[in-house]
Amino acid sequence: MSPQRKLLLLGTFVHSKTQQHLEFLHNAAVAVDEQGKIAAIERDVAEASEAQARLLTQLGWDEAEVDVTVAAEGQFFFPGFVDTHIHAPQYANAGIFGKSSLLDWLETYTFPLESSLADLSKARRVYTRCVRRTLSHGTTTATYYATIDVAATNLLADLCLSMGQRAFVGRACMDNPDVNPDYYRDASAAETLRATQQTIDHMRSIDPGFDIVSPILTPRFAPSCSREAMAGLAQLHRETNLPIQTHISENLGEIQLVKSMFPEADSYAGVYDKYGLLTPKTVLAHAVHISEEEAELIAHRGSKVSHCPCSNTSLTSGPARVRWMWDRGIDVGLGTDMSGGYSPSILDAARQAALVSRHVAMGIHVPEGGGAAAVEQEKERERVKLTVEEALYLATRGGARCVGLEDKIGGFEVGMEWDAQLVSLSQVSDDGGMEEHDHGHGLVDVFGWESWGDRLAKWLYNGDDRNTKRVWVKGRLVHKRK
Ligand SMILES: Nc1nc2[nH]cnc2c(=O)[nH]1
Ligand SMILES: [Zn+2]
């Protein structure tokens, strides 16, 4: 890859300071070095030009070696989104799920599509589009499931690297002949491990430090794996410290299936724990129906949860309880779970997380007739609702923690990497029209009197890819909207 130029970004920067608070840096400047790292931040200067001059002097950088990007009025820089759970091959099915729920959806829609991507020209089309599309929605890091096919999985890794999306790429492991169809499964546990190793070797050859693209060990979900395959993947994790991803407790039928298949375990989480897969580097997608004991076990092991609200609604899996998981000390991020979820957008996932938390609130029974119990339940209803700040935290820093990148991405701090998006919200002109340059800027209208907090709320609830003008990963410009 050709060496990158240094960057200087000027204007308003917004990021999560904590889970509950956004921080707004106005008239600020961020300097990014050739390695894509934030070298310095200057805040609260009177004018952008002053910030620029100060930073260049402080760093000893020459103006000629720096590319400058200025966020105009109504624009701001925001950390790139982290999608902690997405199926790249299923992109071709986004929106196609009818009235299915998990187990029949897998059989009817998903396995046939995934197996067809052994055709590499088809895989290239779908994967190229998936990476481009998610980048255009501001996803700078994606934790992908691929398929069982080694060549197509390696191709996905190649495409992420060449298009510049930070990615964890997992070959789907599924060797159980009783659950997986004959036309789409690994021949044996040994084959599962051998094929997985081939994808690890490939990713090491294209990105030796796993800087942009990293393998992730991917037992599809307990029912699709033999005990030997799960134990073997856990052994591989202990040898390599590679991350792990899988699904857990998404659907009631699935939970029954796990119970009948693994009588030796106390629970679904107990199956993964028994076979060594519950680790601090494990991301568990869904966790809709986990019990108190399972939550305690997951928290104790330090495993993370990818909350996939769009998928959980689309496949009628159920409403996952983010506040409840946070209360128990579980780190949570967001996943599109495309195409269980129909949307490729993490902004959309954040919005749906906020809405689903309100459904959780509405499900809390408030006894009639008032009294202390009713007051408590009313308070609880309020408490479980996610705020705008919390939803945007889930989309950025929360996701970064889930995938072990909290020191590198998710916020703007010196030493972190420049994974960011430039967001633009339309300014309404005095006559109620749009400012000339704002045509085609999407659904968000800013009148000018809104606080910055309110602007972010408008973006969360009505924003889309039309608002994402530029996207960078590790300092490299990876998407630009005309
Ligand atoms: N949502 C979802 N759940 C799964 N469980 C096993 N495989 C899948 C999948 O592809 N999507
Ligand atoms: Zn999934």
Per the DSSP assignment, residues forming a β-bridge with 30 are 9, 41
What count of other Cβ atoms lies within 10 Å of the Cβ of residue 451?
Answer: 9
pLDDT for 147-191, tens place per residue? 999 999 999 999 999 999 999 999 999 999 999 999 999 999 999
Domain final residue pick, 402, 432, 453: 402
**At residue 46, does pLDDT exceed 80?**
no
Give yes or no: residues 196 and 286 share one domain: yes
Average pLDDT over residues 81-88: 99
**R_g (Cα) of the chain, nearest Å:** 23
pLDDT for 423-457, tens place per residue? 999 999 888 887 766 556 799 999 999 999 999 99
- Contact predicate 41/58, CB 8 Å: no
Give yes or no: residues 58 and 136 share one domain: no
Give yes or no: residues 291 and 264 share one domain: yes
**At residue 411, does pLDDT exceed 60?**
yes
Domain final residue pick, 402, 431, 456: 402
**pLDDT score at 50:** 81
The parent domain of residue 231 ranges over 81-402
Q: How far apart are CA 82 and CA 397, in angstroms?
A: 8
Task: List pocket residues of ligand 1, CB cut-off 6 Å.
Answer: 87, 102, 106, 110, 220-221, 247, 250, 311, 337, 340
- Lookup result for tokens 């076990």: 297
pLDDT for 206-248, tens place per residue? 999 999 999 999 999 999 999 999 999 999 999 999 999 999 9
DSSP designation for 60: T
Ligand 1 centre distance from Cα of residue 84 (Å)? 14
**pLDDT score at 117:** 98
**pLDDT score at 121:** 98
Whether 407 maps to a domain, the answer reads: no
Ligand 2 centre distance from Cα of residue 86 (Å)? 6
Task: Give the whole-number percent of the chain exceeding pLDDT 90.
Answer: 93
- Contact predicate 309/352, CB 8 Å: yes
Whether 120 maps to a domain, the answer reads: yes
Identify the three-state secondary structure at position 120.
Answer: helix
Among 87, 114, 175, 338, name the best residue to mutate to test ligand 1's pocket (greatest count of ligand atoms within 8 A of Cβ): 87
Q: How many CA atoms lie within 13 A of 191 on its CB side?
A: 13
**At residue 270, does pLDDT exceed 70?**
yes
**pLDDT score at 439:** 56
**pLDDT score at 52:** 85
- Which conformational region is residue 98 in: left (phi greater than 0), alpha (psi within -120 to 50 degrees), or beta? left
Domain final residue pick, 372, 402, 432: 402
Q: How many CA atoms lie within 13 A of 30 on its CB side?
A: 29
Average pLDDT over residues 250-272: 98
**At residue 32, does pLDDT exceed 60?**
yes
Instruction: Using the Cα atoms of residue 67, residue 72, residue 78 and residue 82 in order, give the sign of their dihedral.
Output: negative
- Contact predicate 420/412, CB 8 Å: yes
Give yes or no: residues 287 and 323 share one domain: yes
Q: How far apart are CA 153 and CA 320, in angstroms?
A: 30
pTM more than 0.95: yes
DSSP designation for 65: G
Whether 1 maps to a domain, the answer reads: no
- Which stretches of 208-291 are DSSP H helices? 227-240, 252-261, 268-274
Identify the three-state secondary structure at position 445.
Answer: strand
Which residue has the CA at smallest separation from atom 2 of ligand 1?
340
- Cis preceding linkage at 339, omega within 30: yes
**pLDDT score at 440:** 63
ipTM above 0.90 for this complex: yes
Give how many domains the chain has, as a whole number.
2
Could you please report the per-residue DSSP string of 171-198?
Answer: PEE---TTTS-TTSS-SSHHHHHHHHHH
**pLDDT score at 1:** 54
Average pLDDT over residues 287-303: 98
- Cis preceding linkage at 314, omega within 30: no
Ligand 2 centre distance from Cα of residue 145 (Å)? 8
Among 93, 144, 185, 247, name the best residue to mutate to test ligand 1's pocket (greatest count of ligand atoms within 8 A of Cβ): 247
| pLDDT band, residue 313 (cuts 50/70/90) | very high
**At residue 250, does pLDDT exceed 60?**
yes
Ligand 1 centre distance from Cα of residue 102 (Å)? 7
Mean per-residue pLDDT over the chain, rounded? 96
Average pLDDT over residues 339-359: 98
